[in-house]
Chains A and B, each alone.
Chain A
Amino acid sequence: DTAVSQTPKYLVTQMGNDKSIKCEQNLGHDTMYWYKQDSKKFLKIMFSYNNKELIINETVPNRFSPKSPDKAHLNLHINSLELGDSAVYFCASSQEWAEGYNEQFFGPGTRLTVL
C-alpha cells in the first residue's frame, strides 16, 4: 500500500518542453507539498496546499504551476523546461496544516532530466 505515490519516476525531456508530474496520497491527509532536491541534495520547498488551497508559495519561477484537483492529489506542471530544472522532485503530505508541526510523508521522488 503506497502512501504517497508519484508518476513518473523518471522524466527525460528536451529544453523548452512542458511536462507534468502527478502526486497522489491515500492517507486522508489535508496538506500536500512539493519539494525540489538539487544535485547537492539540498531540499527546498516549492509549494504547499491545504484542502486544495495554496498556503506556501516560495520564490519559484512562474513556469511552475501546482494544481490540486482534490485533497488527495497535487500535480506539478512545468512550462518551458530549462536545464536548471533538472533535479529530483518530491511530493509529501501531512495530516493537517499546523505551523510548526512538520511530520510529513514523502513520495519516492521524480528524477527530472532536461537535455
Chain B
Amino acid sequence: LAKTTQPISMDSYEGQEVNITCSHNNIATNDYITWYQQFPSQGPRFIIQGYKTKVTNEVASLFIPADRKSSTLSLPRVSLSDTAVYYCLVGDIGADSSYKLIFGSGTRLLVRP
C-alpha cells in the first residue's frame, strides 16, 4: 500500500513563498495528485490537482517531476490566512487490486507576521 509522506510542520513569514513536498513512491499509473487545505473545525478544501509537470491556478502551483514519485505544492507570497494544514491525496492499487485513496499525514503551516 502506498505511503505518502509529508513534513509534519513548516513555519514561514508573510510574503514568503512556501513549498510543501509530498512523496508518494507507489502512486497508481492513472492517478492525479490532489492537494487540500484544512482550517480548524472545517472540512478539507480542494486547492489544486495535477498529473505531471506543472499546474498553476489562482492560489497555488503544483510541481510534479517526471517519475511522479513526489509533488510540491507552492504557495506564493503567503499571508496569515494561509495558516492551515495541507494534505496531499493520491490513489494506489492495493494488494487485492482494489483502488485506494490515500491522504498524506498533513503538513501544519504556520505563517507569522
Does A66 have its Cβ within 8 Å of any Cβ on chain B? no
A-B contact count (CB 8 A): 58
Type the 1/0 row for B15-35, where 1 means its CB is closer than 8 Å to any CB of A.
Answer: 000000000000010111010
What secondary structure prevails in chain A residues at the interface with B? loop
What secondary structure prevails in chain B residues at the interface with A? strand
Count of A residues near B, CB < 8 Å?
22
Count of B residues near A, CB < 8 Å?
24
CB nearest to A94 among chain B residues: B46
Select A102's contact among B42, B91, B105, B106, beta carbons within 8 Å: B91
Chain A contacts to B: CB under 8 angstroms? 4, 41-45, 48, 56, 58, 90, 92, 99-109
Q: List 12 A-B contacts (CB under 8 A).
A: A41-B105, A43-B106, A90-B44, A100-B31, A102-B32, A102-B89, A103-B46, A105-B46, A107-B43, A108-B41, A108-B42, A109-B43
